[in-house]
Amino acid sequence: MSAAGRPQAAASEERPVTLTVLAERKAAGEPVVMVTAYDYPSALIADQAGVDLVLVGDSAANVVLGYDSTIPVSVDELLVLTKAVRRGLRRALLVADLPFGSYEASDLEAVHTAQRFVKEGGADAVKLERGGTSIDRARAIVAAGIPVVGHLGLTPQAATALGGYRVQGRSADQAEQLLADALALQNAGCFAIVFEAVPAAVTELITSRLDCLTIGIGAGSSTDGQVLVWHDLLGITQGSLAKFVRTFADVHTETLRGVTAYADAVRAREFPAAEHTYAIPADELADLTTRLARLTRPA
Ligand SMILES: Nc1nc(=O)c2c([nH]1)NC[C@@H]1CN(c3ccc(C(=O)N[C@@H](CCC(=O)O)C(=O)O)cc3)CN21
Ligand SMILES: CC(C)C(=O)C(=O)O
Ligand SMILES: [Mg+2]
């Protein structure tokens, strides 16, 4: 382990993902893969699967912590998860979401929070939502030497202002604003921008105007990369899923089967069996039984 806690990659293994590597991918037209992760075992798997970018999303609020939106999750809560993911990654680039209320008020606040995610959490980059004042915040964080990812379209931290979790950028006015925000975020120094729930045709027009990486979630196939929430793509999320989710595994069913089988085995006294049990030799047991029988309750 290095001081930052990154497991050392074997010499034979692929080089770590850097901003340079990502720019090369874009230039070569090779899609970039991003996934969220919130803990150590998931980070190990994401890295083993060859994912390029791992996002500790503020979606942790919903999928890990059980809040009903991303608004309540705190920096301290996300830092715990970021540190755990850091310990599991050796190749993928680690991006941490800045949660609602941790960066909007001033450049100073934004830089301070971003530094915590890098210094304490071990993040390589941070992500913030929206255009507007976030453009200045992005510029300030980049100026402090921390790579920044933007996030436009459906920005869940602003869901109330957007009228709920709905598709963004449908009208010409909205699409124009989206492009203006994207160009401004790029100009502020963002190396990538996430587009969420934007019509494919609009994303395509915007992507063609940008030099930085575009990463889509519900934004069609023209972006340089895609991102999905871990629990959604693995079939862990219960209840309704957004239109943009494809479920690639059924982990819920398999997990329910496993926990139910465990409960059934305990109730049937099938578990634990002899092979799960620590035994001692019969003579030692006899001695131990005698001594325990002699032991009286304290007065
Ligand atoms: N599990 C999970 N996955 C996510 O992608 C995600 C979270 N949680 N939590 C934070 C935000 C919230 N997100 C959401 C939440 C709901 C919709 C949704 O229900 N969309 C509908 C409505 C579309 C419309 O009416 O325009 C859909 O059918 O896609 C989309 C994104 C994305 N993020
Ligand atoms: C869905 C991605 C882009 C995100 O911001 C999150 O998981 O919080
Ligand atoms: Mg997020």
User: What pLDDT digit, counting tens, does each position of 68-84 carry?
Assistant: 999 999 999 999 999 99
ipTM: 0.96
- Please indicate, yes or no, if residue 102 is contained in any of the structural domains: yes
Residues in Cβ contact with 85 at an 8 Å cutoff, skipping those fewer than 6 apart: 37, 38, 39, 40, 42, 43, 54, 56, 94
User: Are the C-beta atoms of residues 151 and 168 closer than 8 Å to each other?
Assistant: no
For residue 231 and ligand 1, the question of a CB distance below 6 A is answered with yes
> How confident is the model over 229-245, as pLDDT tens digits?
999 999 999 999 999 99
pLDDT band at 1 (very low <50, low <70, confident <90, very high): very low
Q: Which pTM value belongs to this model? A: 0.94
On whether residue 266 sits in a domain, the answer given is: no
Residue 299 counted as domain residue: no
The domain in which residue 221 lies consists of 19-253
Identify whether 44 is part of a domain. yes
Reported as a pLDDT band with limits 50, 70 and 90, residue 10 is very low
* Domain-embedded: residue 50: yes
Q: Is the shortest distance between the CB of 167 and ligand 1 below 6 Å? A: yes
The Cα–Cα gap between 248 and 240 comes to 16
Residue 293 within any structural domain of the chain: no
* Protein residue closest via CA to atom 4 of ligand 1: 229
Q: How far is the CA of 155 from the centre of ligand 2 (A)?
A: 9
Helix (H) or strand (E) holding 287: helix 282-294
Q: Is 199 in the pocket of ligand 1 (CB under 6 A)?
A: no
Express each pLDDT in 176-197 by its tens digit: 999 999 999 999 999 999 999 9
Considering the domain boundaries, does residue 276 fall inside one? no
Question: Is 127 marked as binding a ligand?
Answer: yes
Active site residues: 196
97 among the known binding-site residues? yes
Count of the separate structural domains present in the chain: 1
Q: The CATH number of the domain where 42 resides is what? A: 3.20.20.60
Where do the H-state alpha helices sit in 120-198?
133-143, 159-162, 172-187
Q: Which helix (H) or strand (E) holds 62?
A: helix 60-63
Answer yes or no: is 75 within a domain.
yes
- Closest atom of ligand 1 to 237 CA is 1
